Structure 1
Amino acid sequence: MKRLWTPAWIARHVATVVLVGAFLALGWWQISRAAGGNTLSWAYAFEWPIFAGFVVFVWWRELRHTLRGDGDPADAESADTESADAEPTAPTAANGAVAASGSRPAVRRPVRVNRVPVAPDGVEDADLAAYNRYLQWLNANPGARPGDYPG
C-alpha cells in the first residue's frame, strides 16, 4: 500500500477526484440547461458522467496494475539485476514457466517489422528516380521555389 502514497500517486488521486468532481458538476450544469429548453444539452448531460466514469476506470486500472507489481519499470530492472546475480532455483519467465510462486510469467510481444519491397538489382523505378533528381535540384538550389524546377 505504500506504493500508492508516493508523490506521483498522490497527484493521480487528487487529479482523479478533481476531474470526477468537475465532470459531474458539468453534467449537472448541462441537466439544468437542458431543463431550461436547450435540447443539445441533453447529449452533454449524459456525456459528462461517462467522462467521469472513464477517469475512474483508468485510475482503477492503474491502481490494480501498480498493486500487482507489474507497473514499475524500476522494480523490474532491480529484479532483473538481482536474479542475474543469484543462482536460478526455479524456472524463469524466459522459457514460459512461472518464475516464482505467485508471480506471473512475463508476456513478450513479437516485434513486427514492415519491410519495404526492394527492386531487383539494375532495375530502378522511373518515378523514384525523377523524385530523387528533383530533391537533388532542390538541395543544390536552396533559395529556389518548387515551381522553378526545370524538369
Structure 2
Amino acid sequence: MLIALACLAALIVCCGLAWWQWQRFESASGTFQNLGYVLQWPLFGLFPLFMVWRFRRLAQQRRDEALPAPEPVAAAAEPVTTVDAVKPAPVEHFDDPEDAELAAYNRMLAELNARDGR
C-alpha cells in the first residue's frame, strides 16, 4: 500500500512539473526544450509504477521456477542401435574407410528418423 501511494505521489508531482513546463513553453521566454520536458515528466512519473510491476513479475517468475516441474510420462523408447549394429548396405563398396564410416553413420541416422516416424 505504501508503494502504491509513493507511485501515485510521484505521478502527481511529475504531472505538476509537466504543467509548469507547459506554462513556461507558452510564455514569451519559452523554448522547445520546455515542450520536451512537458512530454518527459509524465514518463518520469510512470517509471516507479513500471518498476514495481517489473519487480513483481520477476518475483513471480522466480517462484514459478522454484516449483518442481511434474515429470512427463512417456512411452518407453526403443533402444538406439549403434553404428556397428546397423546392417551394411550390400551394394556399397568403399576404398576409403572414412567414407564407409560416414555411410554407416548416415544409415543409422536414416533408421532413427524412420523409427521416429512410426
Normalised TM-score (structure 2): 0.46
Normalised TM-score (structure 1): 0.37
Larger gyration radius, structure 1 or structure 2 = 2
Q: Larger relative CO (CA 8 A, sep 6+): 1 or 2?
A: 2
Structure with greater helix percent: 2
